[in-house]
Amino acid sequence: MKYNFIRSVFQATTILERERYESINHLLDEETKYFLYEFGLPNSTWFSFEFTNSEIYNAEYNILNIGNNGRKFNGEIASYIGIDLNSNEIVMFYNFAENEKCFLGLSLKHFILTMFEFEMFTKEICVKKYFGEIHSQEKKSYLEYLNYRLLQLDKDFYANDRSYYWGSILEGMEQGVVQIVDFKTIK
């Protein structure tokens, strides 16, 4: 199967294969259809992304909702993850009424590969953490390599507002504010 290397990293989580929805199928490109219907959407151990199997299409913004960030505000889901069907980009909407969103990926494939890189990074760090101390220089090298891998996926990763979400996570990891998952949570 294509992209098995991704499945092996997300083995501790579920990969949700969505049902085919004929009403929106014509709006999706072939690569997006493959990842939605055949490969599936990996729920990450590191990120709180929760992918759903329900069809929620926002015609006003031409967005197909594929999940949420798993966080709630005043009992309501704080933000939704969707495919912008005008551009095929993956975005996180904080507020549909105000069109407040941030960029998560150039495409569904790009978004999944970005999550894959963070998961790989987390597993590498957790293995080191489990077997011994991680030195700050070693952690810096890991972060530099992660940056390199992300730039291989998208050379404009840090251009414009694209880096808001991922860049803030990387910055938090570098400063030690964003903690890396404990090894025990990864099976």
Confidence (pTM): 0.80
Q: Looking at the DSSP assignment, which residues form a beta bridge with residue 146?
A: none
And the tokens for 81? 């993850």
Question: Hey, how many other C-beta atoms are within 10 angstroms of the C-beta on 117?
Answer: 19
In terms of Cα–Cα distance, which of 70, 13, 102 is closest to 82? 102
pLDDT in tens, the chain (187 residues): 577 777 777 765 566 767 677 778 888 999 999 888 888 888 776 677 788 776 677 888 888 888 887 777 788 777 888 999 999 999 988 765 666 788 888 999 999 998 888 888 877 766 565 545 566 666 677 788 888 888 888 887 776 666 678 878 777 777 765 555 433 333 3
Give tens-digit pLDDT for 88-122: 999 988 765 666 788 888 999 999 998 888 888 87
Residues 100, 80: Cα–Cα separation, whole Å: 11
